[in-house]
Amino acid sequence: MQNFLRLWHDSGIYHMDMGQGFMMLIGLGLLFLAIRKGFEPLLLVPIGFGCILSNIPGAGLSMSAVENAFYSGYPEVIGPLAQLLGEQADAGIKALTAAYQQAPAAVQADAYRLATDLGYANGMLYNFYSVAIGSGVAPLVIFMGVGAMTDFGPLLANPKTLFLGAAAQFGIFATVMGAVGLSVTGIIDFSIADAAAIGIIGGADGPTAIYVASILSPELLGAIAVAAYSYMALVPMIQPPIMRLLTTQEERVIRMEQMRVVSRREKIVFPLILLILVALILPSAAPLLGMFCFGNLMRECGVVERLSDTAQNALINITTIFLGLSVGSKLAADKFLDPKTLGILVLGIVAFGIGTAMGVLTAKFMNLFVKQKINPLIGSAGVSAVPMAARVSNKLGLEANPQNYLLMHAMGPNVAGVIGSAIAAGVMISIVSSLS
C-alpha cells in the first residue's frame, strides 16, 4: 500500500495545478488551429506541442537543473542552494528562482554545479531553448532561409514601394508607445525593454519578434511569439476590413502598369549595397539583415544552388522544429499566465492594425504626387507577413476588378516590410542598450 501511495505522490496528476491544466488546453488549442484550421502550422504545431510538454507536472522539461532542484521540495537539496544564493531555505520557489536569475554569472555556475552534483539536470526543452534561441542562432538561420526564398525583383522594379514597407513599420513604434502608456498609467507594468520587444509584433515578422524578445525580454518571449505568429495567421481576417474602410471603390480598381524586368546583376548587387549601407549606419541591425542578405545572395548569384536549396528547405525546416519547441518551453503556466500576456495580445493586434492602415494611407498620400498611380491595396502588404499580406492585397484587387492582378506589385512592399522590420529591430536594440 505504501508503494502505491509513493507512486501516486510521484505522479503528474498529483502535482498538477489549474494553471498547468489550463496551459495544456492552450497547447491543444494551438494544435487544433494549426491542424484543423491551417493557421501557421509550421510553427504552431511545434509551439503547441512544446506548450504541452513544458506543462507536464514533475517532468521539468522547460526548467534548468537548478529550477528542477528547487521544485523537488527536498530540504536537503534546497538548503545548500539557498545558502549559496544568500536566501533562506523557506523563502519559496519563486523567490529562490528570482535570486538565481539575478545572481552573478559565477554564482549561477556554482549553483548549476551543485544542482548537477545533487542529481538534477536541465530539461530537454530548456536545452533546446539555450541552443536555438538563447544563443540567437535559430531566428538568424530562419532569416537566412527567408532571404534565400525572397525575390527582390518587384521591389527593384518599383522602388517607390519601399516607402510603403517603411510606413507599415509605424505599427512597431505605436506599440512601444502603447506599452509605455500602459506602464505610466499603472495598468500593466512594462519596462522599456519589454515595450521594445512587444513593439516588434507590429511588424508581423515572427523570427524578428523572437530574436528581439530573446535579447530584450526573454521572460515575455512565449507570449510575444504566440501573438506574432497568431496574428500572421489571421492576416486574411484582420486586414480586409481595414483596407476596405480606408479605400474607395475607385481606388481599389486602379490598374498598375506591368513591371520592368530586373537584371540578374541588379539582384546580386542590391543585397550587398543594402547590407553595407544599413550596417554602417545601424550596426545592431547587422545580424538579422546580414543573414537575410546572405541568403538572398546565395539565391541570386547562381553558383551555390545546393547551398541555396538547403537554406530554403532542409535547414529552415529543421530549425523551425527546434525554434517552435523552444518557444513552447516559454509557455509554462508560471511564466505565461500573467496580466502582461493579455496586454501583449491586445497591443499586438492594435499594432498590426496600425501598420496595415499606415501602409494604405501612405499609398493614398503618394498618389497625390506620383504620375503612375499606386493601388492603395498594396500598401497593406508593407507588413512583413510574407507572402500572406501580398495575397490579401491581390484578393481584394480581384474582387474590385477581376482583371486586376496585384500580387507581384504587392510583393514589393511586402519584401520592403521584411527589411523594415529588421532595421526597426536594430533601432530597438540600440535604443534599449543605450538606456541600460
Degrees, nearest 5: CA angle 288-175-291:
5
> Over pLDDT 70: what percentage of the chain?
96
Assess whether pLDDT exceeds 80 at residue 2.
no
* Inter-helix orientation angle 286-301/137-149, to 10°: 40
Q: What does the pLDDT read at residue 228?
A: 84
- In sequence order, the 6+-apart residues with CB closer than 8 A to the CB of 270 are 152, 156
Mean pLDDT of the chain: 87
Top-confidence range, 66-80, 307-321, 387-401: 307-321
Cα-Cα-Cα-Cα torsion 229, 232, 236, 237, nearest 10 degrees, comes to: 60
Q: Where does the pLDDT of residue 345 fall: very low under 50, low under 70, confident under 90, or very high at 90 and above?
A: confident
4-8, 37-41, 70-74: the lowest-pLDDT one: 4-8
Cα-Cα-Cα-Cα torsion 112, 211, 319, 201, nearest 10 degrees, comes to: 130
> Which of these, 428, 434, 412, lies nearest to 213 by C-alpha position?
428
Spans of all domains in the chain:
15-131, 136-435
Average pLDDT over residues 314-332: 91
Q: What does the pLDDT read at residue 211?
A: 92
Q: Where does the pLDDT of residue 8 fall: very low under 50, low under 70, confident under 90, or very high at 90 and above?
A: low
Q: How far apart are CA 134 and CA 227, in angstroms?
A: 20
- In sequence order, the 6+-apart residues with CB closer than 8 A to the CB of 48 are 27, 28, 29, 30, 31, 34, 328
Assess whether pLDDT exceeds 90 at residue 385.
no
- In sequence order, the 6+-apart residues with CB closer than 8 A to the CB of 197 are 209, 212, 213, 216, 217, 220, 221, 224, 428
Q: Where does the pLDDT of residue 226 fall: very low under 50, low under 70, confident under 90, or very high at 90 and above?
A: confident
| Residue at grid coordinates 498594396 | 378
Average pLDDT over residues 245-249: 90
For residue 276, report the phi and psi dihedrals to the nearest 5 degrees.
Answer: -65, -45
- The string of pLDDT tens digits covering residues 351-367 is 888 889 999 999 999 98
Q: Where does the pLDDT of residue 325 fall: very low under 50, low under 70, confident under 90, or very high at 90 and above?
A: very high
Q: What does the pLDDT read at residue 351?
A: 84
